[in-house]
Amino acid sequence: MTEQWQPSACILCECNCGIVVHVEDRRLVKIRGDKDHPASRGYTCNKALRLDHYQNNRARLTSPLRRRPDGGFEEIDWDTAISEIAAGFKRIARTYGGDKIFYYGGGGQGNHLGGAYSSAFLKPLGSHYRSNALAQEKTGEAWVDAQLYGGHTRGEFEHAEVSVFVGKNPWMSHSIPRARVVLNDIAKDPGRSMIVIDPVLTDTAKMADFHLRTRPGTDAWCLAALAAVLVQENLCDERFLADHVNGADVVRDVLREIPVPEYAQHCGVDEELIRAVARRIGTASSVSVFEDLGVQQGPNSTLCSYLDKLLWILTGNFAKRGGQHLHSTFGPIMRHTPEVGRTPVTGAPIVAGLVPGNVIADEILTDHPDRFRAMIVESTNPAHSLADSARCRAAFASLELLVVIDVAMTETARLAHYVLPAASQFEKPEATFFNLEFPHNTFHLRHPLMDPLPGTLPEPEIWARLVRALGVVDDAELEPLRAAARRGRDEFTTAFLQAMAANPELNKVLPYVLYETLGPTLPDGLRGAAALWGLAQRAAMTYPDAIRRAGHADGNALFDAILTSRSGVTFTVHEYADDFALISHPDRRIALEIPELLDDLRGLAAGPTPLTTPEFPIVLSAGERRAYTANDIIRDPAWRKRDGHGALRVSVEDAAELGLVDGGRARIITATGSAEATVEITEAMLPGHASLPNGFGVDYPDDDTAAPRVTGVAPNELTAAGWRDRYAATPWHKHVPARLEPVPADG
């Protein structure tokens, strides 16, 4: 590699594949996979090559903006913005209490470093309600995980004999390292099997050995039938259950009663296929399972999370090569605690510490005294990504203070009182906290490829300025730490522990303290990486042996390795048996019995209740991942090489019945709203099921003078906040009752 190739990572999905980039005149002119990245090992998909559309585009912000009374924005300087914003939040906290300040976001697919500093501003104000996109997908699963074993698990698909994808299309959406290589390897190997549960004949399903083509929204019956066959045909791993699992008998009693033929009919899958799949799972040497939005954003989502975990737990596919694993954590993404809090206005469940996205508007649009009055939105676009965009817009517009920190002018930013322009992810140190692998887990600190675009600042600096403006830290207290940091890591460690013991209040602003003291001593523009020092110490204390096995003597050694390894480091190497130690229950056993969900499982006997009606007879999946979608990260529609308008995919049968033509236009009507899209007729869809892609419907100016124009359908103009899971209040985006009508070509 010559000097001009600089290591970084793709930021378009949670994999954050390592890339090397050739930068010319601030453009990412050439991009390749980085062979030295410990997780992706040179792999990228088609999307990484298009990253310059994120870095350079007409939506980028270059100055702090303040909303004028007439609704337009004026540019203001950073000092004015920071002091007015800090004063504004202080006023809200003083008048109503700091808990009326709601924080949403903190990172997207690849940028979690900036959000790590937010607590230093929020905690002194007394703000503690927070959320992000994970509360639209992963909280139901997290609640189940918390009770089963107290952590997040991942399958080891690279080595699994049997891989199961439930409502997950990894060929398009990835989420596992080197997804397409791994899927191809599985498909080529006659000794291994791929099982896909999905109503759509996806690119992944096409490669599968077994495709369980469930009717949309009926996965609970399919999964229950699979688990029932495991029990009824004695395919469970008795030894594993006896040694490592509590409550298995109660669960098996419920599964033993399940009438498999009936449940097969309920989900529309052939009974013999279900039995064959259960037998394949029950007799394999290793099984890995990945559930994603197809079930997490549909009816019975939390129950489905429970049932698909039964598949690998009942068969003992834990703590062995190719099985399912708990893993180390570097930066905290989600808390796995069984406690469920309640939101202040609607009393909705707060799982994993996150307010459900579907109730945010209701927590604002009310005269309840405990309503949220102000909001900080960082690196996310909730006015577009939360259910029922129109209502979200109304809610955000009614706030007394809304501040948005983003690289681009977004749908949410347009509603803000202040917009703060962030440096892009290639202009600052940045990192993902989606470090979810086992036995080797990796962490990648990306170095800046160039200076921040003039006018922008990295988030760590934005938060530091805001904390300074609050005036909660006596700068003199930081002097000894600054001096110690200049003398070396060990001296800093000692001084840091002393300072924290002497003034526990400093704990509240810990990331700020690190930024101000250790930060200035870090090389190569890496000041923003200072917070990682604290996380490295914590990792070293939590996983001492696994960190040493990965070659790091202690937290300081790990931190230094992170600073110098520009393509990323392996931070933990676990042994398979360590999985048991990672179970957080004191007896290190899996607790299989979840009474509420067992009740729901019994309740499945009543059969599915369709959500569709004669008025809205089609199930619309609003937000499918495709070859050229990447949430809202790239706004310029020119980044797409195909499917530029984000086609509405419909079945051959529905098209014929409704008079829809391929390439023609259709109107999509739901109880919430309506939209128009280009039609694609495909055998991939079942009759009664249609899909729209995610990531469309954001606006972008055609040229510097034009008003922004919207391409494709914004999915959440069609979704409703009330369609949600009863445990985690996660949305049913994949299951929106809708009506389709042809739009005549001339109108």
Ligand X SMILES: Nc1nc2c(c(=O)[nH]1)N[C@H]1C(S)=C(S)[C@@H](COP(=O)(O)OP(=O)(O)OC[C@H]3O[C@@H](n4cnc5c(=O)[nH]c(N)nc54)[C@H](O)[C@@H]3O)O[C@H]1N2
Rule CB under 6 A: which residues touch ligand X?
13, 108-109, 111, 133, 136-137, 166-169, 172-175, 197-200, 202, 214, 216-217, 219, 292-295, 298, 378-382, 385, 405-408, 410, 422, 424-425, 459, 621-626, 629-633, 694-695, 715-716, 719, 733-734
Contact residue for ligand SF4 among 6, 7, 8, 15 (CB under 6 A): 15
Task: List, as own/partner pairs, every contact residues 609-617 make where C-beta atoms lie below 8 angstroms and the sequence separation is at least 24, other chains included.
Answer: 611/217, 611/299, 611/723, 611/732, 611/735, 611/737, 612/688, 612/737, 613/737, 615/739, 616/669, 616/670, 616/671, 616/737, 616/738, 616/739, 617/688, 617/737, 617/739
- In the window 171-190, what residues touch ligand SF4 (CB under 6 A)? 174
Contact window for ligand SF4 (CB under 6 A) among 39-47, 79-87, 390-398, 540-548:
39-47
Question: How distant, in Å, are the alpha carbons of 163, 221, 305, 594 from that of 235?
Answer: 17, 19, 21, 22
Q: Which is nearer to ligand X, 36 or 643 (CB)?
A: 643
Q: Which is nearer to ligand SF4, 42 or 610 (CB)?
A: 42
* Rounded Cα gap, residues 652 and 352, in angstroms: 42
Task: Select from ligand X, ligand SF4, none the partner in contact with residue 716, using the beta carbon and a kind-dependent cut-off of 5 to 8 Å.
Answer: ligand X
Residue 307 neighbours by CB under 8 Å, 6+ apart: 220, 223, 224, 226, 227, 601
* Rounded Cα gap, residues 627 and 630, in angstroms: 9
Task: Select from ligand X, ligand SF4, none the partner in contact with residue 44, using the beta carbon and a kind-dependent cut-off of 5 to 8 Å.
Answer: ligand SF4
Task: Select from ligand SF4, ligand X, none the partner in contact with residue 10, using the beta carbon and a kind-dependent cut-off of 5 to 8 Å.
Answer: ligand SF4
Q: Which is nearer to ligand SF4, 176 or 594 (CB)?
A: 176
Which is nearest to 355 in space by CA: 337, 342, 368, 370? 342
> CB–CB of 141/296 below 8 Å?
yes
- In the window 46-65, what residues touch ligand SF4 (CB under 6 A)? 47-48
| Residue 61 exposed, middle or buried by CB count within 10 Å (0-12, 13-18, 19+) | buried
To ligand X, the closest distance from the beta carbon of 180 in angstroms equals 12
To ligand SF4, the closest distance from the beta carbon of 44 in angstroms equals 4
Task: Select from ligand SF4, ligand X, none the partner in contact with residue 55, using the beta carbon and a kind-dependent cut-off of 5 to 8 Å.
Answer: none
Task: Select from ligand SF4, ligand X, none the partner in contact with residue 119, using the beta carbon and a kind-dependent cut-off of 5 to 8 Å.
Answer: none
To ligand X, the closest distance from the beta carbon of 288 in angstroms equals 15
Task: Select from ligand SF4, ligand X, none the partner in contact with residue 173, using the beta carbon and a kind-dependent cut-off of 5 to 8 Å.
Answer: ligand X
To ligand X, the closest distance from the beta carbon of 30 in angstroms equals 21
- CA neighbours closer than 13 Å in the CB half-sphere of residue 744: 2
444 binds ligand SF4 (CB under 6 A): no
45 binds ligand SF4 (CB under 6 A): yes
The C-alpha angle 648, 654, 658, rounded to 5 degrees, equals: 95
Residue 457 DSSP code = B
Contact residue for ligand SF4 among 6, 8, 44, 442 (CB under 6 A): 44
Task: Select from ligand SF4, ligand X, none the partner in contact with residue 17, using the beta carbon and a kind-dependent cut-off of 5 to 8 Å.
Answer: ligand SF4
360 binds ligand SF4 (CB under 6 A): no
Q: Which is nearer to ligand SF4, 574 or 640 (CB)?
A: 640
To ligand SF4, the closest distance from the beta carbon of 446 in angstroms equals 12
Task: Select from ligand X, ligand SF4, none the partner in contact with residue 16, using the beta carbon and a kind-dependent cut-off of 5 to 8 Å.
Answer: ligand SF4
Phi, psi of 604, deg, nearest 5: -60, -20
Query: For residue 696, how far is the Cα from the chain centroid?
Result: 18
Q: Which is nearer to ligand SF4, 40 or 132 (CB)?
A: 40
To ligand X, the closest distance from the beta carbon of 518 in angstroms equals 22
Contact residue for ligand SF4 among 6, 7, 8, 10 (CB under 6 A): 10
Q: Which is nearer to ligand SF4, 48 or 402 (CB)?
A: 48
634 binds ligand SF4 (CB under 6 A): no
Which is nearest to 251 in space by CA: 335, 209, 307? 307
Which is nearest to 419 in space by CA: 103, 73, 700? 73
List the alpha helices (DSSP H) in 23-107: 52-55, 78-96
To ligand SF4, the closest distance from the beta carbon of 70 in angstroms equals 40
Task: Select from ligand X, ligand SF4, none the partner in contact with residue 48, using the beta carbon and a kind-dependent cut-off of 5 to 8 Å.
Answer: ligand SF4
- Helix (H), strand (E) at residue 304: helix 301-314
Q: Which is nearer to ligand SF4, 13 or 420 (CB)?
A: 13
Contact window for ligand SF4 (CB under 6 A) among 45-53, 93-101, 309-317, 391-399:
45-53
Task: Count the Cβ atoms, other than its own, within 10 Å of residue 508.
Answer: 16
Task: Select from ligand X, ligand SF4, none the partner in contact with residue 169, using the beta carbon and a kind-dependent cut-off of 5 to 8 Å.
Answer: ligand X
Which is nearest to 45 in space by CA: 23, 5, 14? 14
> CB–CB of 226/281 below 8 Å?
yes
Contact window for ligand SF4 (CB under 6 A) among 13-21, 304-312, 586-594, 673-681:
13-21
Contact window for ligand SF4 (CB under 6 A) among 40-48, 61-69, 308-316, 439-447:
40-48
* Rounded Cα gap, residues 668 and 666, in angstroms: 6
Task: Count the Cβ atoms, other than its own, within 10 Å of residue 297.
Answer: 27
* Rounded Cα gap, residues 722 and 681, in angstroms: 30
* Rounded Cα gap, residues 548 and 539, in angstroms: 11
Which is nearest to 721 in space by CA: 364, 369, 378? 364
- Helix (H), strand (E) at residue 344: none
> CB–CB of 130/353 below 8 Å?
yes
Chain residues that interact with ligand SF4, rule: CB under 6 A: 10, 12-13, 15-17, 44-45, 47-48, 174
